[in-house]
Amino acid sequence: MTDSAPRLRRIAGVSELRAVSDTVRLAVLSILFDHPQDSFSVRDLAERTGVPVTLMHYHLKILRTENLVGVVVRRTAQNRRERQYQARYAALRWDFPAAGDPGV
């Protein structure tokens, strides 16, 4: 996350809420929020959460689709390109609708 990135993201839609309603994706966001200046590879996040790398790709795709994480391309020691992920926001917020609101 860069210094110019917004600090708070308000969850407004069902698709965004669905994206953060999974325990693995919440764990990924928690890791990224706790280390805002760092970026993590798929393998790093898979090891930290205890899920297979292939499953981590799936979860990161969902978070990217909702613009909750961003991709940074880094060079490895072997001069290979590696995608790494950072949080786009410092925090998320969802306001429960009031009981009297239409649609509740």
CATH class of residue range 10-93: mainly alpha
Q: Which of 31, 22, 37 is nearest to 72 (CA)?
A: 37
Residue whose tokens read 């280390």: 35
Tell me what percent of the chain is helix, strand and coil, each rounded to the nearest 5. 40, 20, 40
pLDDT tens, position by position, for the chain (104 residues)? 545 456 888 888 888 889 999 999 999 999 999 998 899 999 999 999 999 999 999 999 999 999 999 999 888 888 889 899 999 988 888 877 666 666 54
**Structural domain spans, the chain:** 10-93
> What is this structure's pTM?
0.80
Residue among 19, 5, 21 nearest 91 (CA)? 5
Residue 13 has which token pair?
Answer: 């839609």
Rounded distance between C-alpha atoms, residue 87 and residue 70, angstroms:
6
pLDDT of residue 26: 95
Q: CA gyration radius for the chain?
A: 15
CA distance 64 to 80: 22
